[in-house]
């Protein structure tokens, strides 16, 4: 790979990873210890002061090692401004996921939009700088026109989407997604691409959640599907295609008894930009 493109690729990958870290801090219908990874107490990570465990899908217990630090730990968690309910009981601090009201959804939407914008701008800046460096090299006759054209064609193909995913709407209809992220299976977080490629299945049901991020080009059938899964009284099986839907090599994520735990809206319309799906089981075929 040409050095300019290699450098741009590294910067774009760093932006993607930063985006994933930011998204992992947004509650998606259930709560996990990674939600507090960004908490700092006197510039030190939370793990240096306390142990975090899961009480139930909506509650964390933070057990402080030194009681004299409890007030500082509680304050540090509150300053994360994640919209969580933080209370103390003895030597433990309980962090609870609030009910998903319209106000909470708006807060989550603002966070996901801000994280996406920051990562997208970083990717675009890296691409523009790479293209500018190519122009400079071409002007200085440091590479031929054919070399510059070959490298330039590769720059726009880099994006914050690490894999190609489609929502299977049935009747041969699909909607391409911007990304599928924040996959939790049990209490473990997984890279979606790696999970799709290597999962061997399980004899036991595996509960979890993930977030699908929609693109600007949306299928009307997908919007109707969104309205259906946002009805929390219903559950349905959901299929997400990894790869080209027409390819026999494409793999499919089957989510059993799924529902929309949270939806993220950037504006006042009813069509969300992203949806956190909770599910009773997940398989890859």
- pLDDT tens for each residue of 161-211: 435 889 887 877 888 888 888 888 887 888 888 788 778 788 888 988 888
**Alpha helix stretches (DSSP H) within the chain:** 3-24, 70-79, 102-139, 145-154, 192-198, 220-229
Q: What does pLDDT average to over the chain?
A: 76
90-118 residue pLDDT tens: 889 998 877 766 666 666 666 666 776 77
Residues 40 and 74 in one domain: yes
Q: Residue 269: its pLDDT value, please?
A: 52
Share of the chain above pLDDT 70, in %: 66
3-state secondary structure of 158: coil
Q: In terms of domains, do 61 and 106 share one?
A: no
* C-alpha to C-alpha distance for 250 and 173, rounded to whole angstroms: 15
- CATH code for the domain in which residue 246 is found: 2.30.110
CA distance 21 to 111: 12
Token couple for 109: 């939407």
- Report the C-alpha dihedral over residues 263, 266, 267, 272, rounded to 10 degrees: -30
Domain limits at 182?
A: 165-284
pLDDT digits 0-9 by tens, 5-21? 677 777 777 777 777 66
**DSSP reduced 3-state for 38:** coil
Residue 86 has pLDDT above 70, yes or no: yes
Q: Judge if 257 and 171 occupy the same domain.
A: yes
Kindly calculate the radius of gyration of the chain based on its CA atoms and give it in whole angstroms: 21
| 127 in the same domain as 8 | yes
Tell me how many domains the chain contains: 3
Residues 145 and 48 in one domain: no
CA distance 103 to 110: 11
Nearest to 241 by CA among 163, 129, 189, 142: 163
Domain co-membership, 12 together with 106: yes
Residues 10 and 147 in one domain: yes
User: Which pair of structure tokens corresponds to residue 12?
Assistant: 């774009």
Q: Is the pLDDT assigned to residue 212 strictly greater than 60? A: yes
| Bridge partners (DSSP) listed for residue 253 | 240, 284
More confident residue, 113 or 217: 217
Question: Do residues 219 and 114 both lie within one domain?
Answer: no
Are 62 and 93 in contact by the 8 Å Cβ rule? The answer is yes
Q: Which of 76, 96, 116 is the last residue of a domain?
A: 96
**155-162 contact pairs (CB < 8 A, 24+):** 155/5, 155/8, 155/127, 155/130, 155/131, 156/127, 158/8, 158/9, 158/12, 158/123, 158/126, 158/127, 159/12, 159/123, 160/12, 160/15, 160/16, 160/19, 160/116, 160/119, 160/120, 160/123, 162/16, 162/193
Interatomic CA distance for residues 271 and 285, integer angstroms: 29
Q: What is the pLDDT of residue 157?
A: 42
Are 74 and 190 in the same domain?
no
Indicate whether 18 and 133 sit together in one domain: yes
CATH number at residue 9: 1.10.132.20
Query: How far is Cα 42 from Cα 46, in angstroms, rounded to an integer?
Result: 9
Residue 128 and residue 208 share a domain:
no
Pairwise CA distance, residues 266 & 280, whole Å: 28
Task: Say how many CA atoms lie within 13 Å of 63 toward its Cβ.
Answer: 5
DSSP class per residue in 225-273: HHHHHT-TT--EEEEEEES-TT-TT-EEEEEEEEEEEEEE-SSSSSS-S
Same domain for 240 and 181?
Answer: yes
């Amino acid at each position: 790979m040409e050095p300019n493109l290699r450098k741009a690729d590294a910067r774009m990958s760093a932006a993607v990873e930063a985006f994933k870290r930011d998204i992992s801090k947004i509650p998606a219908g259930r709560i996990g210890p990674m939600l507090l990874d960004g908490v700092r107490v006197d510039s030190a990570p939370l793990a240096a002061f306390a142990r975090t465990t899961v009480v139930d899908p909506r509650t964390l217990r933070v057990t402080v090692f030194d009681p004299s630090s409890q007030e500082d730990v509680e304050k540090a968690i509150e300053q994360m401004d994640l919209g969580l309910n933080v209370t103390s009981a003895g030597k433990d601090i309980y962090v609870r996921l609030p009910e998903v009201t319209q106000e909470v959804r708006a807060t989550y939407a603002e966070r996901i939009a801000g994280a996406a914008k920051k990562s997208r701008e970083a990717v675009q800046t890296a691409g523009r700088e790479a293209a500018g460096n190519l122009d400079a090299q071409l002007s200085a006759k440091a590479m031929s026109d054919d070399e510059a054209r070959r490298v330039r064609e590769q720059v726009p193909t880099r994006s914050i989407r690490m894999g190609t995913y489609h929502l299977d709407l049935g009747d041969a209809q699909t909607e391409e997604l911007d990304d599928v992220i924040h996959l939790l299976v049990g209490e473990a977080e997984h890279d979606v691409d790696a999970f799709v490629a290597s999962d061997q299945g399980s004899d036991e049901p595996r509960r979890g959640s993930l977030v699908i991020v929609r693109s600007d080009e949306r299928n009307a059938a997908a919007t109707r599907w969104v309205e259906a899964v946002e009805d929390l009284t219903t559950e349905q099986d959901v299929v997400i295609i990894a790869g080209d839907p027409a390819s026999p090599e494409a793999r499919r994520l089957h989510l059993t008894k799924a529902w929309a735990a949270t939806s993220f809206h950037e504006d006042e319309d009813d069509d969300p930009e992203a949806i956190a799906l909770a599910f009773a089981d997940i398989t890859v075929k």
